[in-house]
Amino acid sequence: MVNFIHAFISLSLITGMLIAKCAPGYGKKIFRSLIISLAAGLIFGASAYFVSIRQEAVTSTRTFLYAAGIAAAALNSGMLLLHKKQGRALSAIGQGTAVSFTAALSSLAAFSFFSFITEHALSASTVLNTDLILNISGILAGAFIIAFLIPLTNRISSKNSAAFLLIFLLCASGLLIVKWSAEVLLGLMRLEMIEVTSLRLSFVAKTAKYAYAFPYIYVFILSILSFVFFSRRMALVSHCLPDMKKAERRKISSTILLEMRWAKSALASVLIVFSVLLYHDLYASRPPKISNPLNIKPDADGLIKIKIEDVKDGRLHRYSYITDDGHVVRFFMLNRSKTQDRIGVVYDACMLCGDMGYIQEKNEVICIACNVRIFVPSIGKAGGCNPIPLAHKVEGGYIVVSEEELDKGAKYFSEVVSIKVKDPVTGKELNNLKAPHRYEYNGRIYFFESAESWEKFKASPETYAGNRQARYFRVQGYQ
């Protein structure tokens, strides 16, 4: 639903305002022309996307459509500014630019939305399921809201002054031109038609970063239009009632009631669209987070022992261990069987995707990085997006993991915390994150208080590091 609103809200708002702005100068025929161009644009945009997919020309088609959209938006804005000075010839041109702009806007909205559907499947399977039903319902709900916004915007714009409406139309068109310009630049750079420069990349990146705010601006414009409509709505003055005839009074009362309904509809639409956008941006679109791991320390023998009784409930139990150079090594345990104690013990990291971790959902474990769902009985097996197996033993009702094994996997993880460490040359204690010099040897990081001790270590690292076993590297694969 939210993606449908993102794609089409500018179309609804601008079409509604264009009808209200152009109707006084161009007549009621402009309404029919704009609606026809809107429908034609939607069909053209959808067709262009599927044809470009088959021809493997999505980037070039998208770039052309955005460039055409910029030209149509600029021409329409120019004609709106010249509206009062138009003669008969310019009036015809003005109608043409308005119709062309609506067609370009609807084409791009359809093209963008179908691109999103293709890149983000409506369902993870081909059979009818809850996700598919919810997604289709969301699209239908979004389509209803967007379709309703056109007559609503047209109605509430009628109470706004022509100059006020012109400002909002130019602002909305300007936002689209900025967004489309970034898309055109990106497309031309991808097609190698223009040189990639830092300035162009910066413009594209910043536009993409703040593009999420554009629908909020459109909602704000709709809110202002609604407020003006409400404040200027017709009101029935009590002292005028005795002088009115019954028919006239009923007619005015009916008009007041109708305008109040439009005002309430505008308020409800603003609240619904704003709530949907806010819910998506603040909650639904956020990636899932792993639960806080329980930090544990090894005993005097360098072993970590966890009772099988504590982890056999079928839920994911996450732990962490901090190495002597500050790396946070996460691992978790999960019972793979509903009838037996078959505990999978693994690093909370993927050989392919890194250390974003895993979450559990019913009888599946999900890799946060790529959203791959892993069948619980396969936890502990190597390969693919499965979590990396962690060597362990089962002794006397305990799962035993050695400090040495956890230390080997430190390079699978990127998080480093502040701890006290010692300079291996001088023995002086210092903070790992504030040490002036550091050196990596066999996958371990050593910290130094001065350049002199750093140079001594580099000259003969085995003298100071000893025979400690090298750590694993994620790029080396499972060992």
Averaged pLDDT of the chain = 84
Q: How many CB atoms lie within 10 A of CB 341?
A: 14
- End-to-end, the C-alpha distance of the chain in Å comes to 45
| Ordered per-residue pLDDT tens for the chain, 479 residues | 777 888 888 989 998 888 888 776 565 677 788 889 999 999 999 999 999 999 889 999 999 999 999 999 999 888 888 765 554 444 667 778 888 999 999 999 999 888 887 766 555 555 555 666 766 777 788 788 888 888 899 888 888 888 888 899 999 999 999 999 999 999 999 998 999 898 998 999 999 888 889 999 999 999 999 988 888 776 655 555 566 667 776 777 777 788 888 888 989 999 999 998 888 888 877 777 888 999 999 998 999 999 999 998 889 999 999 998 899 999 999 998 888 888 999 999 887 788 888 988 877 888 888 878 888 888 888 877 788 899 999 988 899 999 989 988 888 888 889 999 999 899 899 999 999 999 988 888 899 999 999 999 989 888 888 777 777 765 544 44
pLDDT tens track for 265-291: 989 999 999 998 888 888 877 777 888
Q: Are 32 and 94 in contact (CB under 8 A)?
A: no
Residue 240, judged by CB atoms within 10 A of its CB (0-12, 13-18, 19+), counts as exposed
Question: Is the pTM here over 0.75, yes or no?
Answer: no
The count of C-alpha atoms lying within 13 angstroms of the C-alpha of 296, restricted to the half-sphere facing its C-beta, is 21
Backbone dihedral angles phi then psi of residue 306, each to the nearest 5 degrees? -125, 130
234, amino acid identity: M
Report the distance separating Cα 105 and Cα 73, nearest Å: 9
Delineate the domains of the chain, giving CATH numbers in brackets: 2-284 (no CATH), 294-412 (2.102.10.10), 420-476 (no CATH)
Query: Which residues make Cβ contacts (< 8 Å) with residue 178, sequence separation at least 6?
Result: 207
Cα four-point dihedral sign 189, 193, 197, 202: negative
Question: How does DSSP assign 388-434, residue by residue?
Answer: EE---EEETTEEEEEHHHHHHGGGG---B---EEE-TTT--EEETTT
> Roughly what angle, to the nearest 10 degrees, separates helices 214-231 and 2-26?
50
Report the distance separating Cα 67 and Cα 149, nearest Å: 26
Residue position matching structure tokens 């089409």: 8
